[in-house]
Amino acid sequence: MFARILCSTAILAGLGSAAAADTTFHILHFNDFHSRIQPINRYDSTCPAEDDAAGECFGGIARIQTAIQQMEAEYGPDNVAVMVAGDIFQGSQMYTTFHGDVEAEMMQAIGLDVMALGNHEFDDGPENLGRVLEQVDFPVISGNLDLSMSDALRDRVSDSVVLDIAGIQVGVVSALTTDTMEISSPGPNVLFQNEIEALQQDVDDLTAQGVDVIIALTHVGEGEDEMIASQVTGIDAVVGGHSNTYFSASDEDRDYAYPLMVSNPEGTMVPVVSAYAYGKYLGHLELTVDDAGNLIYAGGDTILLDASFQPDATLTARVEELAAPIEEAMSVVVSSSTASIDGNRDSCRARECEMGVLVTTAMLDRTRAQGMDVAITNGGGLRASIDAGDITMGEVLTVLPFQNTLSTFQLTGAGVIEALENGVSQVEEGAGRFPQVAGMRYTWDPEAEPGSRIVSVEIETADGFVPIDPEVTYGVVSNNFMRAGGDGYSVFANDGMNAYDYGPGLEQVVADYLTENGPYEPHLEGRVMQAQ
């Protein structure tokens, strides 16, 4: 499929549509894959082989390959393009062990046509991303980044690309959430521009050079995708990622219809789609354009990659080869749980969740002897649930895949309150900064304005809970990402005193706690409350 790439960034003058009549083509897409190379279970964690054989698993790169091959056989390979809307990195031991090499190999293997950068592509810095991108032939785009000062990425990431699909020149533009500066590690040489302005400029450039059909492949989240569709003129469809939103044309439990139609500034309806996350679904967007390049039909659906898709044998064998040295270490049982431990994204980014209780309790337990009073971790750092029964090290690492270490520091009570205000400031957007805590409890008001939502904060003492004192200095344990200001916790970086990223790894802290306290009984503590 790589032969369909006509050019990237600089589009040749005079390029136009080759269509002579109505033409239908197909966009296959997925997003927020998060290194789920192997099949996943209903908790979005790596699925054991015996469960896969029993038909209880979903996704995995080998199933994605099968689904793509079936679509190409049905519609013709020249009429199909495969796109990824960011975040192929981070989320399983495949990434933790190989740091993107496996993801690059697998995206290459399935014949990816174009990939948009996601925020997690920067988790190990731009140098690692640049190293990985040297291994792929497909174009990687992100139009709202100024990479002129980045030696690692300057020549490896383009603003846009033009693909030949079904004989039509289809421009693909892209944007990455500007929150990446806070939620990942792009470094000082990757500069971010306004998504709307950058996209409009790229669309205008393509349109001026004769490209009539333009798709925005984005990693900004569903709400921003709707804004892009409604404000940027000249985009024919938006294929998005970042918010793990479930679009469906057939499932009543969907978040949004597939496609969601949004009116643009000229009153033209623009389809917006996304395909949840973790490779569980493959999106299939069917588009028909007339001979002038005008979109006249948009349809399709997300396809659940369940046991009805026989995994591609070649990729299955390769994945098993890569996984063998990992599985031995990850299969070690560290504890057990009496019930499933809820680490669901919707829970941990909006309220106290069982996984948040476990992780923050383990953090505080590990550092009490060092004088720590409270633990705060970001709900977005909790990436999966754990089912009942034996708990393996692999399951713990699926929950905590970022290799963050424990970080301790001192902070005034006023600083703790400021941190909590940041944590609850973007709940409506599903932001990962939501604070899971231990050694304290707080009440917040979701109806209040961001910055004024914390109603009360209490610190746990030997004699019970007492109101926090803004003037008193408390010992805080968090993770090194947040301690450095990640997820908007700038107060930690700016006002934290005697900061020490001493380790150990957060996943090892939790594994040790589970070992010492097994069988573990999942529960809530009432540490996070909403004002009535």
Compute the distance between CA of residue 2 and CA of residue 11 in angstroms, rounded to an integer. 17
- In angstroms and rounded to an integer, the radius of gyration of the C-alpha atoms of the chain is 23
The whole-number pLDDT of residue 326 equals: 86
Q: What is the pTM for the complete model shown?
A: 0.78
The three-state secondary structure class of 390 is strand
Instruction: Quote the pLDDT of residue 134.
Output: 98
Amino acid at 407: S
**Residue ranges covered by each domain of the chain:** 2-321, 334-530
pLDDT of residue 45: 73
Residues of the chain with pLDDT under 50: 1-19
The CATH T-level fold of domain 334-530 is 5'-nucleotidase;  domain 2 (3.90.780)
CB 128 within 8 A of CB 100: yes
Beta strand 140-141 with 374-378 is unpaired
Q: Where are the beta strands (DSSP E) in 39-196?
A: 80-84, 114-116, 140-141, 145-146, 160-165, 168-176, 191-192
Q: Of 18, 56, 60, 57, give the one whose Cα is nearest residue 37.
A: 60
Percent over 70 (pLDDT), the chain = 96
Q: Which fold has domain 2-321?
A: Purple Acid Phosphatase; chain A, domain 2 (3.60.21)
Phi, psi torsion values for 144, nearest 5 degrees: -105, 20
